[in-house]
Amino acid sequence: MWLEKIMRPGSDFLGVRYPIVSGGMTWLSDSSLVKAVHDQGGFGVLAGGNMPPDALEKEIETCQNELSGPFAVNLITIAPNFRSQMAVVCRKKPPFVIFAGNFPHKRDVQEVKEAGCKAIAFASTMSIAEQQIRYGVDALILEGSEAGGHIGQVSLVILLQQVLFESPSVPVFVAGGVATGRMVAHLLMMGASGVQMGTRFVMSEECRAHPRFKAAFVKARAREAVATPTYDRRLPVVAVRAIRNAGLDEFNQLQLDLLSKLNAGEIRREEAQIRVEEFWVGGLRKAVQEGDVERGSLMAGQSVGLVDKVQPMAEIFSEILHDAEAELSRVAMLFGVQTPDRTPDRYHAPFHERGRSTGSRTP
């Protein structure tokens, strides 16, 4: 089949059947979600977030004991516990480490590689991609600003042209606004080694997010997942995309309060940045674990406008893979090329034709 052929480079690199990556989402991407993705042939990512090192160690051990294949640990470089988490990772040696939040330093990349892990980093320009390759990363992720959580400022459409089309010397995975198999097919045709999804997997039955958190995703439109502003360069806050609510407004006020304290010399910049990260970690926990969808953080990508029901992970993968194969077959027929196996016998109706039915599994 076309899909198996076009996925092979990414599958071989990751060591999984399908190079479909579950994004490392704090409080969401735990060992149970990693296993659910792994069991469907995908690549699960364990989120370090700002997890205490002993808790992270237990989660890594659970993945190592329960999974028969590779997985990654996602570390946020700007998290207060980053250095202690790095020590755990180098000791436990997961197959892959993904650096997020900001670009890793050369010593970070070298440290995990010396421990025997493969290193993956994000890139927002070709120059950063080249820098990270010089540092020794084994692969890159291009994450467009359409994504949820910590994001860059550039859309995936631009990143594809700036970086992917320049053919870097390492595998390139793409993320941000991806939720359908048809899009997966086109990204693979463009040269991506695989895709990363986050919002789509939040809507799996296996994801342990609070039912009210998932219900907020069902109701949200793409335009309601907004990025936070940066008010002053003295407080270089990494933008976060989340569904607008009272918690998001409180974060904007927090930035203004911290800037006022910076002006008065009451706080150092490093301490202010830690306060920002603590806000997000705490706000996300309120929403994900306690179901506080008003004051908590509803981190979500703009692809939240493309998800409208909670499904078993097996069903999500089935839809993605079927629709990707169908799209590849459709494109092949446009050029008069016979499919290597057979054209799938049905297509899922386009989203706008399906409407926003919540289905029986909607929380």
DSSP bridge pairs for 327: none
187-214 tens-digit pLDDT: 999 999 999 999 999 999 999 999 999 9
Domain boundaries, the chain: 2-208, 211-302
Confidence of residue 38 (pLDDT cuts 50, 70, 90): very high
148-188 tens-digit pLDDT: 998 888 999 999 999 999 999 999 999 999 999 999 999 99
pTM here? 0.89
The DSSP result for 121-134, as a single string, is: EE-SSHHHHHHHHH
The pLDDT score that the predictor gives to residue 50 is 87
Environment class of 116 (CB within 10 Å of its CB; exposed 0-12, middle 13-18, buried 19+): exposed
Nearest residue to 72 (alpha-carbon basis) of 103, 42, 111: 42
Of residues 278 and 293, more confidently modeled: 293
The pLDDT score that the predictor gives to residue 156 is 96
Backbone angles phi, psi at 47, to 5 degrees: -85, 120
97-144 tens-digit pLDDT: 999 988 999 999 999 999 999 999 999 888 999 999 999 999 999 999
The answer to whether residues 122 and 99 touch, using CB atoms and an 8 Å cutoff, is yes
226-250 tens-digit pLDDT: 999 888 878 877 888 999 999 999 9
Cα separation, 147 vs 304, whole angstroms = 10
The pLDDT score that the predictor gives to residue 186 is 98
Of residues 24 and 153, more confidently modeled: 24
Does 33 score more than 60 pLDDT?
yes
Confidence of residue 352 (pLDDT cuts 50, 70, 90): very low
The pLDDT score that the predictor gives to residue 350 is 39
Widest Cα–Cα separation across the chain: 70
pLDDT averaged over the chain?
91
Does 360 score more than 60 pLDDT?
no
The pLDDT score that the predictor gives to residue 173 is 98
Does 357 score more than 60 pLDDT?
no
Q: Provide CATH code, domain 2-208.
A: 3.20.20.70
41-60 tens-digit pLDDT: 999 999 999 899 999 999 99
User: Residue type for 262, please?
Assistant: L
The pLDDT score that the predictor gives to residue 339 is 65
67-80 tens-digit pLDDT: 999 999 999 998 88
Cα separation, 278 vs 258, whole angstroms = 13
Q: Count CB atoms within 10 A of the CB of residue 180.
A: 21
User: Residue type for 286, please?
Assistant: K
Confidence of residue 341 (pLDDT cuts 50, 70, 90): low
